[in-house]
Amino acid sequence: MKLRFLGGVGTVTGSRHLLSDDNRRLLVDCGMYQGVKNLRRRNRAPFPVEPSTINAVVLTHAHIDHSGYLPALVKNGFKGRVYCTRATHELCKVLLPDAGYLQEEDAKYAFRKGFSKHDRPEPLFTEKDAREALKHFESVHYHETIEPVKGFEVWFTPAGHILGSSCVHVHHKGSDRTVVFSGDVGRQDDVIMRPPEPIGKADVLVCESTYGDRLHGETDPCEELADIIARTAARGGLVLVPAFAVGRAQMLLYLVHRLILQQKIPKLPVFLNSPMAIRATEIFIHHHKEHKLSQADCELIDDNTHYVRTADESIDLNTRRFPCVIISASGMASGGRVLHHLKTLLPNARNSIVFAGFQAPGTRGDALVNGAESVKIHGDYWPVKAEVHNLESLSAHGDYQEILQWLGQGSLDPGKVYISHGEPVASDIMRKRIHERFGWDTEVPELFDEVDV
């Protein structure tokens, strides 16, 4: 069996791994590239292998950097099935059409405003393409063994990162070898997700390294969040939280409502302004057995959040000048309704912007948390006067210590570990740490490397 790294190498986006033998090809994750332009440009390049020659796809989870290229893959000739857990399927039904819609809107907007370098900017795929791709989906239970491609057995175990997230185990019957893909790995002690399940056995492990070089720190992010919200409200400002629609938005809603309940912050109105995050919250509440929150916790969120659904309601919310908390997507401020709020709120020192997770280089989120004095949104520069915070410890990714702890929990002893899904320095430090701790042969692959497994 061969393993080829088609993406998610030297970066945290565009995850794509190809397993193959003499006859068949199985793609693990089919992510879109996000962040700096050179990465985004890769979305436009022809897929490195002819899509029609791939027999099936399996997904670790629904986030766009792991699933978002699927509509383009189908559009370009992929005919097989896409396998994932039930919650991942549910979330993809929301995320993929939305991604298509955003692609279309961005292309139209760029054309209208004339700030695109292309004569007629074309979307990478449309909402219709995304709905077409969804027809290829099949959902699977955790721990259920399937054979999506003849000779390749696959099963999923919980990864604790977001609802439905999983480590993908692939056993090649011909060579009797097992490769495990960590996908994105969650926290050992997350507010809403249970910890990742230990991996039993792997001959080869492909492990993420988003926080390979960093720890989330000892400070309590809830205290910090309470402090920021209380301080901002006291000076009459608004708090804007750009959040990943799936995962962190639900956790932040829960945290804010809990802080209000505990009287650690004043009883402010809480708005969730993202149709996608609203749908993801409904799915999250529906799949209550797959996370830590109780029925009462879910009701706390559902009963007290103002869901902002229509564009008119969103525009209306953007004229608001009284203290409140607005949670809106996207989490790295690379698109979505959060941009309109940023344009209104950034120029005023009374307001606070609170990021809650990894900010990929090249995104507006990254520029803001690194102290940019202005950011470009919709073709214009906007001054940054508001307070900007990044509570990275609210991230849905385990830090290196948590990953090492998780790897040490089972009876794992892989012959080889490949480090993926990290910035170059983070991946390399993760490589050293895994080797030092366990003595395993560990390597950071190059993009498009192919190895025998």
* Chain residues that interact with Zn ion, rule: CB under 5 A: 63, 184
Q: Which two tokens stand for residue 301?
A: 């969120």
- Nearest approach, Cβ of 15 to Zn ion (angstroms)? 9
Amino acid letter, residue 94 = V
Strand partners, 84: 139
Report the distance separating Cα 172 and Cα 154, nearest Å: 9
- Nearest approach, Cβ of 2 to Zn ion (angstroms)? 26
Report the distance separating Cα 31 and Cα 17, nearest Å: 10
Positive or negative, the Cα torsion across 113, 115, 116, 119?
positive
- Nearest approach, Cβ of 340 to Zn ion (angstroms)? 25
The nearer residue to Zn ion, 166 or 232, going by C-beta atoms, is: 166
- Nearest approach, Cβ of 63 to Zn ion (angstroms)? 4
The nearer residue to Zn ion, 271 or 358, going by C-beta atoms, is: 358
The nearer residue to Zn ion, 24 or 61, going by C-beta atoms, is: 61
The nearer residue to Zn ion, 210 or 232, going by C-beta atoms, is: 210
Q: Which two tokens stand for residue 42?
A: 């890769």
Which residue, chain included where needed, has tokens 């799949």? 287
Residue nearest to Zn ion (CB): 63
The nearer residue to Zn ion, 104 or 208, going by C-beta atoms, is: 208
Q: How far is CA 324 from CA 35, 276, 339, in A?
A: 29, 21, 17
- Nearest approach, Cβ of 232 to Zn ion (angstroms)? 29
Using alpha carbons, select from 187, 197, 81 the residue that is nearest to residue 142. Answer: 197
Positive or negative, the Cα torsion across 411, 416, 420, 426?
positive
Q: Which two tokens stand for residue 35?
A: 């962040």
Report the distance separating Cα 75 and Cα 130, nearest Å: 9
- Nearest approach, Cβ of 161 to Zn ion (angstroms)? 6
The nearer residue to Zn ion, 208 or 213, going by C-beta atoms, is: 208
